[in-house]
Amino acid sequence: MGCCQAVFAHTRFWSSLLFAAWLPLAHAGLPRAASVPGGVALLPLAPVAPGNERPRAWLGELPVFVAADGGKWVAVTGLALDTPPGTHELRVEAGGETRHLHFAVSTRDYPAQHITMKDSSKVQLSASDLARVEREIAAIQHLKRHWRETADTDLDFVLPAEGRLTGRFGLRRFFNGEARSPHAGFDIAVPRGSAVRANAAGLVLATDDYFFNGQTVFVDHGNGLISMYCHLERIDVRPGEAIAKGQRLGSSGMSGRATGPHLHWSVILNGALVDPELFIGRPAKKR
């Protein structure tokens, strides 16, 4: 199934939870704060109290996940890798009023990674491959902006595979000496056929086979939080399927552009690819 066919209809962000307008969204803990490109800014908005309903927030035109933590509503805001350092603005609606919350994004320098590809066709694309990649990028951008409002988003992720960490988030990548897009996830080296599991509960948003990402699964965790699992050898789930945390999604491989078997894991928040390590209990160690 093409990924565009697998996209669920977007839930209108301004639709409220009528049965409990002020109740906190359930979660097991916020991600670690990192107000840098590729990070997550945690921005307190208002106290949580009966009669004080959950605020709504937007970064640009994209809705932002607002969760309850420590007696406050907090905007859990994803910052794309190309976010320029400086002052940025969150639009907030609460109690019938609109205000603009300004916050700072600091600089972060990511290291470089040089990769040699024996198959140069994955670096210098033919006209037909380039057309395919452009279609796929447009489809993935659409998936990244998916919004499904829910009261049970789990922000306390587990690692989706057991293996050696081989590529951290944000690396400035050079393929055969040529600059390409930064590494917007992190890689776990696992043997071909190893289990790949959901980092949190959700719904399978889409599955597809992409030129660069290979066989890929998108899981929608609700409120603009999505995880992506790439280079799979086999996919064991279908779009629309409800998934439990730790449930097997498929098996690892090296489909797409890969130099060896591994899992590439990405996390998307309000349309931005952000550092997955911010969502796990302790930072992963490179071994």
Indicate if the pLDDT at residue 269 is higher than 70. yes
Tokens of 225: 């939080």
What is the b/e burial string over 164-180, where b = at least 16 CB atoms within 10 angstroms of the residue's CB? ebbbbbbbbbebeeeee
* Local structure of 1: helix, strand or coil: coil
| CB within 8 Å of 156: residues ≥ 6 apart | 27, 28, 29, 200, 279, 281
pLDDT of residue 184: 83
pLDDT of residue 181: 64
What mean pLDDT is predicted for residues 107-132? 73
Tokens of 272: 């931005």
pLDDT of residue 258: 85
Q: What's the chain's average pLDDT?
A: 84
Q: Give the helix ranges, DSSP H, for the chain.
A: 3-6, 127-144
Asked if 31 contacts 278 with a C-beta cutoff of 8 angstroms, the reply is yes
pLDDT over 70 for what percent of the chain? 80
Cβ atoms within 10 A of the Cβ of 124, count? 12
What mean pLDDT is predicted for residues 52-81? 94
Indicate if the pLDDT at residue 141 is higher than 60. yes
State pLDDT tens for residues 3-55.
433 333 333 322 332 222 333 444 448 999 999 999 999 999 999 888 778 99
Domains defined along the chain, listed by start: 3-105 (2.60.40.1590), 112-279 (2.70.70.10)
Range name among 17-21, 60-64, 262-266 with the lowest pLDDT average? 17-21
What mean pLDDT is predicted for residues 259-279? 94
